[in-house]
A and B are shown apart, each in its own frame.
Chain A
Amino acid sequence: MKQAGGWLWRLSLANLLFLYGPIAVLILFSFNASRLSATWQGWSLHWYRALWADQSLLAAAANSLWVATVSTILALLLGVGLAVGLEGVPGRRQRQIEQAMLIPLVIPEVMMGVSLLLFFVLLHISLSLTTVMIGHALFNVPVVMIIVRARIRKLDPRLLEVAADLGASYWDALRYVTIPLLRPAILGAGLMAFTISLDDFIVTFFTAGPGATTLPLKVYSMIKSGMSPEINALSALFVVVSMGLIGLSLFLQRR
């Protein structure tokens, strides 16, 4: 091969450094004992303890978990239905529907947030935690659909024929063959949707009613009211939890 540019390898490493550096810095400094952030003054768990003591923070975390759970279940039901149902639709129409369902993922989130806000207001639906859940369930349905469909494509088509040959009706085949075989993908999709919901800011921002604070919204208001090391600690937690959940999700999808 041509002279393997050592510079290529170094550039790639630099890119990785760029990607992980800020996160690493954040996590590192969350343990910084000093309040004056950027100078290192020794290890401390002080800021994590402060997080734990903050009631509003805990309430926001509870909200986030609640919203994530409900919206994920909803997204799973709708998304898996889409993924499996699409199998019965012939070629061209199938592709069209698939592509249409991907559009919510491509457009800027601001637009989704704003259009949902408009929709709720015009229908006189007051904003609350529920509207947030609806918004989350909205953008997570395509996510679930994509992940599950990727797995469906790898399934042996003969398995469904065999099931029918052995006397299974459409629903029997679904229940005893398709869904069990899709289980890792469904779990993985659920975890992915859960994480995305926990992390979401923009759509939440536009659809949250008063008192319906989620963790990202709380972080945002904390940032707006001034920098503080607690935010570092919170961010570090966020990062670790997200990475863990996503790692688990990918592992399940690959099985």
Chain B
Amino acid sequence: MVEQSASIEITSLVKRHGATLAVDHVSLTVRRGEFFSLLGPSGAGKTSVLRMIAGFETPDEGTIRIDGRSMETVPPNRRPVNLVFQSYALFPHLTVAENVAFGPRMQGAPRNEIASRVRVALDMVKLSSKEERVPAQLSGGEQQRVALARALVNRPAVLLLDEPLSALDQQLRQEMQVELKSIQERAACTFVCVTHHQEEALTMSDRVAVMDQGRVLQIGSPQNLYESPTSAFVARFIGISNELRGIVRRIDGERAVVQSPDLSGDLQITLPIHIPVREGNVVTLLLRPERLRLSTAAQGLNGEQSLAGSIDKVLYSGSDRRYMVRLGERVVWNVRVPNDEFGRNGLSRGDAINVRWQISDAVVLTE
């Protein structure tokens, strides 16, 4: 039974390059109207998946359904999707308006309809004034918007974007993240975006699929992925994670005691709900930098776990300070402390300090 709100349904997709699996049994569903991102390092296979959706590469195994229709025998020029290339690939010999009009023209739309659709598309990306220009006369950001308009004018079921912001400089990139999201909402179109910038994926997307080495590791909302990663890779790839490995010594109802070879003393953890943990299991604790607090007080608050350490490094980044705290010979944790009072100098290198966190804030992963 096909889910009615599904725009794209990918089942067990496989793509091989010689002997290696570029895409390893990937399955996912993209819902209608959502902004979905494929996030992962280079070589993760995300671009391959995108190109298979678009029809430029054929899967070796698995199926792709768009709006319930199987794409197996459909060539790329007949699929209800449009792809915005990383390099934009604007037609250099056509003007902006002609570029955008290309799709409707190929579909045989009447001339006045083409003209109005082009106008609407260019309005949506705020580029109406540059209709008669040629791509060579546009800036990087403008070229990208033309590429977007050229894709959106066809009213595709899904818009595919391959690293849309990677060619832009930092400033422009931040602006375009917001802009892209609002264009998506205005166009009420499903977007599938491939990127290796986690910040981008988190900012723009409704849901993200984290991929590595051809496999999907976790799919979820940005909040989901950040606060409840299901693997160390996801935790590390999205944001900064402080880690500690240890063995479960004793189980006490909802909590357990963990002993880590890198530290002296025991740690208390809250057992994760959905993952079975037994004595002797090896677990990994993950803590986000902002969930930790630094304190010189002798006693922590109720429900807090405390570790003693010393400051290795201080990094001032305007809105906050980051402290690299050494807790053991091989354990250095990254703690973020908001800069709540200008002028105050905070802690310095070499200071002894306690790192504290709410026990329930730690994410626990089993091997």
Contacts and interface: CB of A to CB of B under 8 A. Distances in A.
Interface of A: 156, 158-159, 161-169, 172, 176-177, 180-181
A158 B87 contact: yes
Given A164-B75, A166-B154, A177 B89 contact: no
B77 A168 contact: yes
A49 B270 CA distance: 107
B237 interface: no
A172 B78 CA distance: 13
A175 B77 CA distance: 15
A167 B104 CA distance: 8
Nearest to A166: B103
Contact of A165 (B77, B93, B105): B77
B83 interface: yes
Given A166-B102, A167-B77, A169-B77, 20 more contacts: A158-B85, A158-B87, A159-B89, A159-B91, A164-B56, A164-B75, A164-B77, A165-B54, A165-B76, A165-B82, A166-B82, A166-B106, A166-B151, A167-B78, A167-B103, A167-B106, A167-B154, A172-B106, A176-B105, A181-B93
Contacts of B92: 181
B302 interface: no
B150 interface: yes
Nearest to A159: B89
A159 B88 CA distance: 9
A172 B77 CA distance: 11
Q: Is the interface of B mostly helix, strand, loop or mixed?
A: mixed
Interface size class of B (residues with CB under 8 A): 20 to 34
A180 B76 CA distance: 22
A226 to B, nearest CB: 55
A165 B107 CA distance: 11
A-B pairs, 6 with minimum CB distance: A167-B106, A158-B89, A166-B103, A162-B89, A164-B77, A164-B76
Contacts of A177: 91
12 contacts: A156-B87, A161-B56, A161-B76, A162-B89, A163-B102, A164-B75, A164-B76, A166-B82, A167-B106, A168-B102, A169-B106, A181-B92
A180 B94 CA distance: 10
Nearest to B100: A166
A103 to B, nearest CB: 34
A194 B54 CA distance: 44
Contacts of B81: 165
B99 to A, nearest CB: 9
A168 B75 CA distance: 11
Contact of B85 (A162, A172, A180, A181): A162
A165 B53 CA distance: 11
A167 B89 contact: no
A133 B188 CA distance: 61
Interface string B145-167: 00000110010000000000000
A191 B347 CA distance: 77
Nearest to A162: B89
B157 to A, nearest CB: 13
Contacts of A172: 106
B17 to A, nearest CB: 16
Nearest to A180: B93
A156 B82 CA distance: 18
Q: Which of A156, A161, A165, A169 has the most chain B CB atoms inside 10 A of its CB?
A: A165
Contacts of A161: 56, 76, 83, 85, 89
B117 to A, nearest CB: 13
